[in-house]
Each structure stands twice: as structure tokens, then as C-alpha cells.
Amino acid sequence: MSAETVTISSLGAKGDGIAHGSDGPVFVPFSLPGETVSIARVKNEGTIMSIASPSPDRVQPPCKHFGPDGVGGICGGCSLQHMAKTAYNAFKRQVLIDALKSKGIEAPVGEIFEAHPHQRRRLVFTARRRGDGLVMGFMQAETHHVVPVEECPIASDGLISRLDAIKIIANACGAEHFRITVTETTTGLDISLDGLRGGLGDQARRAVTNAVIKLKGIARVSANGEIVIEPQKPLLDFAGARVVLPPGGFTQATREAEDHMAALAIAHIGKAKKVADLFSGIGTFALRLARSSAVHAVESDEKAVKSLDFAARNTQGLKPLTVERRDLFRRPLMTSEFKAFDAVVFDPPRAGAEAQCAELAKSQVKKIVAVSCNPLTLARDLAILTAGGYRIDQVTPIDQFLWSPHVEAVATLSKK
């Protein structure tokens, strides 16, 4: 380890400051462009020891778990709390622009849809038992240390106000080291305990059940995907359609971002008669689109498919909505199958939808909406579609992972 003073020239895609030296770039977390900082350096990574010349964009972090003097490093949940709002928004938008440019794409990129504190409805905690009891919190960056969490400005009030109740349930399961996924639903908290070695024994099951009975506002607790107790079905509302969230199931991190992404998709598709919703999950887009269009939803996860199908059959006022279980990575919809559709929406995992886009690019579908949580794979997929004759009308960056380097995006395309 060596000590030196460097000047930060830019931010990398992960939010780390980058200084350029004679032996190449040095990555310095929690620094900002224009700052002169003293660092302890190991190879090409630096840890801030002091800030000689702070950036005017440096602000006081709102959370005590972020780190002393805004340098970060305590809680691994956030990496950009020290950055002023205007600069932060510009950075996230630029991450998307740079990803598109890396594939030779020049497209209109809109202003970012901002995330705000206390909107996050889903958190994943790590729990570890030690001599003085159970510790529940977030993993400190680059370590195996669990930081106990007493506050969290990104989390909804409905989540953070129930930290004590969540910890009581986690403690009751008796496990040594596991994950806790908590989602705020319209009927209460959905708590999923995962990574439990050997599952949940009879004694632990009784302890968890008794704890939930005594507490209020808990919709369900599951362990390794198996329901332990379910006082109420954990429900999400998609424009009036009530969907049961499967144990450990995926949903968008904030309701506000979800609503905005859906509105962008609906506006672009317009009066399309039949829409394919690919990688549909539990129906985030499909159930909203079915208010005005017939929809065919395709998803590989069996539990998600069942939840979507049940919601569709029990929601009034929808156009026909069919559901198909299909692995679109191994068996994408073929070009010939797209003849039935006027529009397509796809929202794949971080790996993107390369194989599916290769087929879609050869189709005559008029409108496409591409949703992605990974700008790099989105850029690759858009390059495939534009090579097939599609025009990118707009790309909108969506921030629902506040104070992290991650950025979501919605791209709308039309056949030339």
C-alpha cells in the first residue's frame, strides 16, 4: 500500500472517481471530478484519506450509515450520497448516453425521471448471528461485514418503520447466515427468508409463526420459497389489477418509476390492437396494456405466470389477455409469430434479449418498447433492432435505484 495525492478527472460507470497517472487509471470511490484527494493506494484502487480540494458538487450525505465526512464506505447500500442532485442526475443520464455511443447509436435521450427519498418498496438485508445476537443490515462494500441498519433514507416509511418487526421474525428462524427480502405490498409486508441451510425446522417454523401472529402488518413470511405463514395474500396494484406477489418474486423497486415506465409504454403503443409483452413477469406492463389492447404475455417463471394468469382472470374491464410460459433465451418468439402483433414490449433481466431481438428485428411489428436495467445490454439490443430497420424515437433514463450508479431506461422504437 502506498500513499499519494491525485486529482479526479471523471467518474466511471460504477460511480468511482478516476485519476490518471503515469501507470494508468486509479479508481477512487466516493470522490468527485475536480477534487484533489490524498489516497492510500493498492494497485489501481485508492481509498480516500483526506480531501484537499473538495468539489462544489460535494454535499453532506443524508444518512449516518453512509460514512464519515461524506467519504462513504460504511454501508454498502449507497455509493453517491455525497453528490449534488444536478450533477448526480447528469451523471446517470451520461452513463446511458455513453452506453449507446459504445454501439454507435446516436439517439434522443430525454431528461432523467428522478428518484426521491422514501420511495423504495423493496429491500434485501443480510442477517448474521454472532455472540451478542442477530445482526441485520447491508454488506459493507468489498467485505463480509454486515452493517446494522437503524435508518435508510431510500426506503419507504412503511418498510423502515418496521425494522424491529422484521428483525424479530428473522431472529425467530434461528439460522446463522441468510438473506431477508422485504417488499411493501398493499396488504402488508412480504418477507422472504432465503439461503437457509437445511430449510426451516419444525421448532423454527413455530417460532416464526408465533412471532407473525403477535405482530401487525405482516402479509406473509416464506422460507426458501416455501410459505410459512400467510395472514393475507401480499397484493400489488397494477392500475386496478390486484396481483399476488409470489414468494421472493420480482417487482420494480419503486411504484413511481413503475407507473412512469408503464405510461411511456402505453403512450408509444397507442391504439395497437394486439401487443406481445415479453419477459412479462407478474404483469407489470401486461395488465396495464390490457386496458386498451389484447395482450399475449410470455414469461419463463412458473410462479409469475400463475400470478399473472390469476390476476387477468379476476380483473374486470380487460381486453383478452393470454399467458404463455416460455424460456425466451432458449426459445425466443420467431419472426413468423410476430405477424399477429402490432406492438411489442420487452423487459428482460440484466443479460438483455439478444436472441429475441434478432428475431424481432426481422419482423414488421410497428411499435416496440424496450425496457432495461442494464444500459450496456440495452445498447446491444437496440443496435440489433436498428440494423433491422427500426428507428429509435426516444430513450428515457429512469432512476429508481437512488444514490447508486444503476440506471433503468425505456426506449421506444418504430419501424421505418
Tell me the CB-side half-sphere exposure of residue 301, using CA atoms within 13 A. Answer: 18
Only one residue has cell 399476488, namely: 244
Q: What is the 3-state secondary structure (H, E, C) of the chain?
A: CEEEEEECCEECCCCCEEEEECCEEEEECCCCCCCEEEEEEECCEEEEEEEEECCCCECCCCCCCCCHHHCCCCCCCCCCCCECHHHHHHHHHHHHHHHHHCCCCCCCECCCECCCCCCECEEEEEEEEECCEEEEEEECCCCCCEEECCCCCCECHHHHCCHHHHHHHHHHCCCCEEEEEEEEECCEEEEEEECCCCCCCHHHHHHHHHHHHHCCCEEEEEECCEEEECCCCCEEEECCEEEECCCCCCCCCEHHHHHHHHHHHHHHHCCCCEEEEECCCCCCCHHHHCCCCEEEEEECCHHHHHHHHHHHHCCCCCCCEEEEECCCCCCCCCHHHHHHCCEEEECCCCCCCHHHHHHHCCCCCCEEEEEECCHHHHHHHHHHHHHCCEEEEEEEEECCCCCCCCCEEEEEEEEC
Per the annotation, binding residues are: 252, 279, 299, 347
**CATH architecture label of 90-116+251-415:** 3-Layer(aba) Sandwich (3.40)
Per the annotation, binding residues for S-adenosyl-L-methionine are: 252, 279, 299, 347
What is the topology classification, in CATH, of domain 1-58?
OB fold (Dihydrolipoamide Acetyltransferase, E2P) (2.40.50)
Q: Are 91 and 112 in contact (CB under 8 A)?
A: no
In the chain, CATH 2.40.50.1070 sits at 122-235
Alpha carbon of 196 to those of 119, 203, 208, 249, 285: distances in Å?
29, 14, 14, 17, 33
In the chain, CATH 2.40.50.140 sits at 1-58
Position 179 scores a pLDDT of 96
Position 152 scores a pLDDT of 93
Q: Please state the separation of Cα 365 from the chain's center in Å.
A: 28
Catalytically annotated residues: 373
**Nearest in space to 369 (alpha carbons), one of 343, 396, 332, 338:** 343
From CA 45, how far away is CA 94, in angstroms rounded?
A: 23
Position 1 scores a pLDDT of 65
Cell numbers given for 272 = 395497437
Residues contacting 182, CB < 8 A, separation 6+:
122, 123, 124, 125, 159, 166, 189, 190, 191, 192
User: What are the pLDDT tens digits along the chain (416 aa)?
Assistant: 677 899 999 999 999 999 997 788 999 999 999 999 999 998 889 999 999 999 999 999 999 888 766 677 678 789 999 999 999 999 999 999 999 999 999 999 999 999 999 999 999 999 999 887 899 999 887 778 888 888 899 999 999 999 999 999 999 999 999 999 999 999 999 999 999 998 899 999 999 999 999 999 999 999 999 999 999 999 999 999 999 999 988 999 999 999 999 999 999 999 999 999 999 999 999 999 999 999 999 999 999 999 999 999 999 999 999 999 999 999 999 999 999 999 999 999 999 999 999 999 999 999 999 999 999 999 999 999 999 999 999 999 999 999 999 999 999 999 98
What is the topology classification, in CATH, of domain 122-235?
OB fold (Dihydrolipoamide Acetyltransferase, E2P) (2.40.50)
Position 70 scores a pLDDT of 67
In the chain, CATH 3.40.50.150 sits at 90-116+251-415
From CA 12, how far away is CA 274, in angstroms rounded?
A: 41
